[in-house]
Amino acid sequence: MLGFDNERYLSAQTEAILKRIEAFKGKLYLEFGGKICHDLHAARVLPGYDPNLKIKLLQGMKDILEIIYCICAGDIEKGRMRGDFGLTYDTATLKTFDDLEDFGFTVSTVIINRYHGEKSAERFMNFLKSRGIRVYTQPEIQGYPADVERIVSPEGYGRNPFVETSRPLSIVTGAGPGSGKMATCLSQVYHHHLRGQSAGFAKFETFPIWNLPLKHPVNVAYEAATADIKDFNMVDPFHLAAYGVTSINYNRDVENFSIMKEIISRISDPSSPMMNYRSPTDMGVNMAKEGIIDDQVVSRAAKQEIIRRYFRYALELKQGIEKKETLELVEKLLQEVGAKVTDRSVVVAAREAAVKARESGKGNRGVYCGAAIELGDGSIVSGMNTPLMHAESAVILNAVKKMAGIPREIDLLPGVLIRNIATLKQDILGTRSESLNVEEMLIALSISAANSPASEVCLRKMVQLAGCEFHSTHLISKGDENGLRKLKLNVTTDALPTSRGFYY
């Protein structure tokens, strides 16, 4: 079921942005929060939301905008990861550039923020320059954001280069949180002010949705998504005091607003519309609520997203990436919305499949894995591991058989093909297990499809798995993870170990 109307949203959001540009007499820096394309979080919590809806929004204003892309030097140096694609921030940045190119956009400028000669950032900068992209660096401003005297001075924004722009709307986006988008916008406004030019700043962020209740599941799902950086939602006290209206914002914008007001007063003319910003909410142009057409549908979807986030943080805790406090925070969020992990149907089905694997003597080397997929029609298909196939591979084959109307007992992969792959893996490549992971299974199925009509039909059904829910009881191998991501499944796992070893 759909809970979000893209066209209704596009109409309202476009109007809001154009009005803000007009208010600033033709030059607006719009801090573009979240992901500029492939916004999978929004698509999951707002069923019906096009993951590339922001791109469609920008395409409607293509003739008046340019794109400035920010990335933090420290994130490049640390190899920070973007979880939805499993890519480091610098690599994800390059992917975003390619994606934008496919949609007809070119990034005009890249700004590497908080740069202090980091070698990885320097290599990245040189690569971009070799591809003809303008690259600027901006150092970290000591005392930011509290030391307003330094920030609004030649030692603060004054040290940053002035980025030449030519269009009324500059979209300032970035690799992730902390990329320096807001600082870049305000630095640009500062330089315009020094030149006697009119320019303004506004924020575009889908979440939290300011005119939904504080504890609405959609807003709580945003808290779950940012639990690792300790963001949380709160009533905007400035908006409440100024207008008597309850609105929702996130803590950092509220905590920094008094400082923001002081900075704005020093980089703006008295007649600037920015001087009328009386709250963090006033800075925003978010119209996401206008697209919600079924609150029950989006509420259910948001609760499911909180559960997915719980499993992700639980996995990262076991990997040594995340802290226990993050997982405990998401547990509290689950309680707030009245949800529990077993409300995710595939979790129960996968765990039952693992029990069946043990009871039926299946499994492999004493490990009994279960996996489950919820198909688009709401039906659930399960699978278990065997010496020849991972549970993740087995359940995918079972799922496409069901969609194709092929009996489960029919083998899609000839025994000789599986045996040859097993021989290759163990005897030639020296891998520890001959069992097929998802990537290997997909290749084997494509080979089988050359001679098997049933395999060919099932191969064509794979595309229908995109957006389906998936759960596995055990740690997911790289080969499985890569295959599942390419199939665009929403994956969670109990992350039980598949052996007593550390490497295997």
State pLDDT tens for residues 243-274: 999 999 999 999 999 999 999 999 999 999 99
For the segment 314-341, what is each residue's pLDDT rounded down to a tens digit? 999 999 989 999 999 999 999 999 999 9
Phi, psi of 25, deg, nearest 5: 60, 35
d(CA 371, CA 395): 6
d(CA 336, CA 330): 10
> Given CA atoms 274, 276, 282, 286 in this order, what sign does their dihedral have?
negative
Half-sphere exposure of 246 (CA within 13 A, CB side): 7
| Tokens, residue 255 | 């905590």
Give 223's pLDDT tier (boundaries 50, 70, 90): very high
Residue-level pLDDT at 84: 64
DSSP state of 470: E
**Which of residues 363 and 434 earns the better pLDDT score?**
363
CATH code linked to domain 344-496: 3.40.140.40
CA-based nearest residue to 119, from 89, 82, 174, 74: 74
Q: Answer whether the bond into residue 47 is a cis peptide, omega within 30°.
A: no
| Bridge partner list, 88 | 81
Helix ranges (DSSP H) in 339-378:
345-359
Q: List all residues 6 or more positions away from 336 whose beta carbon is below 8 Å from its beta carbon.
A: 215, 220
- What is the amino acid identity at position 407? P
Q: Where in the chain is the domain with CATH 3.40.140.40?
A: 344-496
| Tokens, residue 454 | 């049933």
Proportion of the chain above pLDDT 90, given as a percent: 85
Q: List all residues 6 or more positions away from 245 whose beta carbon is below 8 Å from its beta carbon.
A: 239
Give me the residue label for tokens 């279960």.
370
3-state SS class at 167: coil
Computed over every residue of the chain, the mean pLDDT equals 94
For the segment 286-315, what is each residue's pLDDT rounded down to a tens digit? 999 999 999 999 999 999 999 999 999 999
Beta strands 87-88; 248-250: pairing state: unpaired
3-state SS class at 495: strand
Residue-level pLDDT at 500: 52
N-terminal to C-terminal alpha carbon distance within the chain: 41
Residue-level pLDDT at 83: 64
| Tokens, residue 348 | 């129960």
Q: Answer whether the bond into residue 51 is a cis peptide, omega within 30°.
A: no
Where is average pLDDT lowest: 79-93, 140-154, 399-413? 79-93
pTM passes above 0.85: yes
CA-based nearest residue to 191, from 143, 136, 252, 257: 136
The residue-averaged pLDDT of 473-486 equals 95
| Bridge partner list, 351 | none
> Given CA atoms 349, 355, 358, 363 in this order, what sign does their dihedral have?
positive
Q: Where in the chain is the domain with CATH 3.10.630.10?
A: 6-222+237-291
Phi, psi of 288, deg, nearest 5: -60, -35
Question: How many Cβ atoms are within 10 Å of 460's Cβ, its own excluded?
Answer: 13
CB-based contact 298:4 (threshold 8 Å): yes
For the segment 23-66, what is each residue's pLDDT rounded down to a tens digit? 998 799 999 988 899 899 999 999 999 999 999 999 999 999 99
For the segment 172-205, what is each residue's pLDDT rounded down to a tens digit? 999 888 899 999 999 999 999 999 999 999 999 9
d(CA 110, CA 96): 12
| Tokens, residue 143 | 């005392």
CATH code linked to domain 6-222+237-291: 3.10.630.10
270-279 contacts, C-beta under 8 A, 24 or more apart: 272/24, 272/198, 272/200, 273/23, 273/24, 273/200, 274/189, 274/200, 274/201, 278/238, 278/239, 278/242, 278/243, 279/236, 279/238, 279/239, 279/242, 279/243, 279/247, 279/249
Proportion of the chain above pLDDT 70, given as a percent: 98
d(CA 467, CA 265): 47
3-state SS class at 4: strand
d(CA 393, CA 383): 8
For the segment 381-437, what is each residue's pLDDT rounded down to a tens digit? 999 999 989 999 999 999 999 999 999 889 999 888 888 888 888 778 877 777 899
Give 504's pLDDT tier (boundaries 50, 70, 90): very low
Half-sphere exposure of 194 (CA within 13 A, CB side): 13
| Tokens, residue 24 | 């600033």
